[in-house]
Every structure is written in structure tokens, then in C-alpha cells.
Structure 1
Amino acid sequence: RPPTDRERAVRRAFREAGLRLKEQPDFRGWLWVHFVSDAGLFSQGLRLGSLSKLAGATRDLREGLLAGRELLPLLKARGVDLRRHRGGVMLFRAPTWLTALVLAWLTAHFEPVRANFAAHSDPDAEEPREVCRDTLAEARRLGIAVPRLEAAEPSFAREVTG
């Protein structure tokens, strides 16, 4: 449908502020793609003790990518049309030997990517654990097999207090 007057005003304000707009027609699906992408990588970072330890770690990044690939059926089960998000899921559909190698190089040599990983490296932060717990709970609820995420569960499971 055509944008409302308010939507046009917001777009104009962003443009006048010098920002370029990139709109997502399926914002909910876009968020889900990023959520499971984070879950795949977070699961391996938490397993190592910190997401920053994934920087340059080809084998561990490969496991994170494979964990993300195992979550693609969860997206489908949630109603996400993966064809609309080709760019977002390409990282998980491409050969992991190649994507892990490229990602390892980027995390080791490209400061903005390394800084992104470092920003999620607080060992006491709950966000990565919650993302993994929520994703695993949803996969279990929908009967989606996610063996890599399940294998990493001890790294993000809630501690049982007695």
C-alpha cells in the first residue's frame, strides 16, 4: 500500500539528516533471519567463552555457520519466506569451507567486523544466552532438529539453583 503522510514525513526527515534509507518489506522475516544467525554464531562464541574468540577461528566459525544452517527449517516453520531473504541466508547456504574462511579473515583483519564481535564479548551478558535459549526452545516446540545448538546448550543453559 502507499505510504502514509507520517511515513513520508519520517522518510524525508531521515533523508534531510543525510541518512540513506533501506527498507525491509518483510521486517519480521528479516528480524527472524538475524535472530537465528546470531543464535548460530553466539552458540559457538559462548562455547568458547567469548564471541571475540571466534575472530580468526575458521573451524569454530564453520560450526557457527552450520548451526545457523540447521536453523533455516525453523525460519520456514515460523512462516518466513526464505526467497525474500536470499541475501540474509546466503551465508548459511554457501559452502561453509569458503564462508568460514572468508569470515575468519574478515574478523581477523577488518576492524569493523572485529569490533562487532568484541561488542558481544561480555562473559556476563545475558543477551547471547537468551538468544540461544529462545531459539532452542522454539526449535524444540516446533520439532526442528538442531543438533549443533543442542550440543552447545551447556554454554548457555540457565544455572540451576537449589
Structure 2
Amino acid sequence: MKILIFGRGVISTQYAYALEKAQHVVEFYVRAGRAVQEIPLNIYDRGQYIDTTWKVRMREELPSDHDYDLILVSVQHYQFKKVATFLSDKVGNATVLIFNNCWNDPLKVAATLPQQQLAWGFPVAAGGFDQNGILKGALFSMVHFGTFNTTPTAREIAARQIFKAAGFKIKEHKDFRSWLSIHFVVNAGFLSQVLRTGSIKKVLTSGEDIKSIVLNVRELFPVLHQRGIAVKGEAAIFKLPPWLISILVTAMIKLNPVFKYSLMNHANPEEIKAFCRDVLAEANEKGINVPRLTAITSLL
């Protein structure tokens, strides 16, 4: 297949590398002046360490009559609406795979795109570019795909097959709207502690900070409840005693250095603030008391 990667962000670049290894033709669309010919990689691709300079193909224009089969969009959630507007008349016959966080109603923020050509998924990867432009991160073996209580279309099935054929395991979610909200709230709880301490490394190596993350996330459960979302899935673990979760997370970090590596190299402070701002704004709008999150308002 011929695949276009929108932008050259941390997540999309790692998946682009994996998909090209699976024999797909992969190209990037970037803003004028952003094109490069190679990207230095220090990443783990499903456990395999990759230290290479990857030669890439990038373009700075996107005509509407292109011949891409798939356009992969994995951008910051606060950038997505602008991206969707830009792509609205440039999709052509491609399937658009939306592969990023979403706090507002997904179908509304993607309303400018042709709905019958969309597929929804979510990455399991992390990392960042260092000061020398080297991408340091990790790509894990599972990816999430979901629908909004509908049966997957032929395009959605085809998008899943691309990842299956590339060696990824697929986790399906029938109520993807709820799953995205839960994941967002968990991120906000974690990232608010990063803001409070000033360091991801400190948070990941401090049992007390991990306990605080549990309390941060629990405080945000009412925000999910007012959306009509039950606390389940990845959020359910936060119902356990904080001391127990601290032990479990500490053990996981020690036993999974790749996971730790991916988080330690996160390098986007604006993303951290945006998660917290958006959840806090909704809590305030709905009259939900969130003192722990409110306490870091000055840092946002």
C-alpha cells in the first residue's frame, strides 16, 4: 500500500518506520521548510533496539488527486481540528486513520472529513526528539482500534489488516468514545503530577508520586461520570489501594526498561499542560470539584 504520514511527529514517525519495514511505500507530508532527507532513530521497535539513520521521503504539498491508500494522522489532540480542516478537501480516495488522543466528541472534531472514509485507532508508543534531533522512543506490539458502537466498515477492516500484517496485535473497542475519554483522564492524572514535580523521571522513580497519581486520577472520575462513562478498563486499576498500585508500577518499570525509556524521553511540555487544562476546563464548566488539579492552575 501507499501510505502518507501526516507530519513527522514522535508517534507517527515510529509507526512509519514499522510500516515501511513491512514493505509499504511510506511518505510524509510536512509544512513548508520542514522536509528532511533522513531521521536519526534510537528506538525500540517491539523490543528490538534500532540505532540507525533512516532515509525518508517527504513532501511539502498535497494535491487532492494523490494516489495514497491510507493517510495516518497522529497529532496532538489540540492540533487535530486544524489538521482535519486542512485535509477536508485533500483526502481523495484514501482511508484516513485517526490515531491520536481526543477529548471532545470524536465525530464532531472530525466532522469536516468524509465520515465514510475514516478509521479510528490509537497508538501504543512514546518518546521524544532530543536536542540533537534524534528520535528516542519505543513502539510496542499492540495497537488499539475502535468504533462508535457500529460494525467496522470495509475500510476500517482494511486499516486493521495493514497493522496485523506488519506484526501488530489489535485490541478492539466497541465504545471508542468512552475509551478515549478514560485514557485522556488517566493521562491528565499522570501528567498533572509531572507538572507538580517538574520531572517525569522523578515521578517514575518515586513511590509517593505514583501514589499521588492514583489520587489525581480518582479525583477526575466524576468528570467521566457526568459524561455517562463507567470507570472500567485501564482506569479500573486506580480503584486499588494507592500503595499497591505504587508497588505494581515500580515493579513494571524495573522489569520493563523499554517502557521506562519511552516515557523518560517524552519531550513536549505543551502537551502535558494541554491535557490538564482541558480536563480542568470541563470540570469547572460542570461544577465538579477537583482541588488537586486546581492546585496546579498557575503551572498551566
Alignment-derived partner of residue 96 in structure 1: 242
Q: Determine whether 1:129 maps to 2:288.
A: no
**SS where residue 126 of structure 1 aligns?**
helix
Alignment-derived partner of residue 220 in structure 2: 71
Alignment-derived partner of residue 138 in structure 1: 282
* Distance verdict in 2 for CA 1:141–1:2, change over 3 Å: closer
**Contact 1:56/1:105 (CA < 8 Å) preserved in 2?**
no
How many percent of aligned residue pairs carry the same amino acid?
Answer: 39
The 2-side partners of 1:134 and 1:61 are apart by 22
The 1-side partners of 2:161 and 2:255 are apart by 37
Gaps spanning 5+ residues in structure 2: where? Answer: 1-149
Q: Determine whether 1:22 maps to 2:168.
A: no
What is the correspondence of 1:1-162 to structure 2 with a 5 Å cutoff? 1-82=150-231, 86-120=232-266, 122=267, 125-154=269-298, 156-157=299-300
- Aligned structure 1 segments of 4 or more residues deviating by more than 6 angstroms: none
* Distance verdict in 2 for CA 1:126–1:105, change over 3 Å: same
Shift of 1:109: 5.0
Residues 8-44 of structure 1, C-alpha deviation per residue, up to 9 Å, x if partnerless? 3333333333322211111111111111111111111
**SS where residue 169 of structure 2 aligns?**
coil
Answer 1 or 2: which has greater helix percent.
1
Answer 1 or 2: which has greater strand percent.
2
* Distance verdict in 2 for CA 1:4–1:130, change over 3 Å: closer
Shift of 1:63: 0.8
- Give the aligned CA root-mean-square deviation in angstroms: 1.9
* Distance verdict in 2 for CA 1:141–1:94, change over 3 Å: same
**SS where residue 171 of structure 2 aligns?**
coil
* Partner amino acid, structure 2, of 1:12: Q
**SS where residue 173 of structure 2 aligns?**
coil
The 2-side partners of 1:35 and 1:138 are apart by 13
**Contact 1:33/1:75 (CA < 8 Å) preserved in 2?**
yes
Shift of 1:71: 0.5
Larger relative contact order (C-alpha < 8 A, sep ≥ 6)?
Answer: 1
The 2-side partners of 1:12 and 1:109 are apart by 31
- Structure of higher CA gyration radius: 2
How many correspondences in the alignment? 151
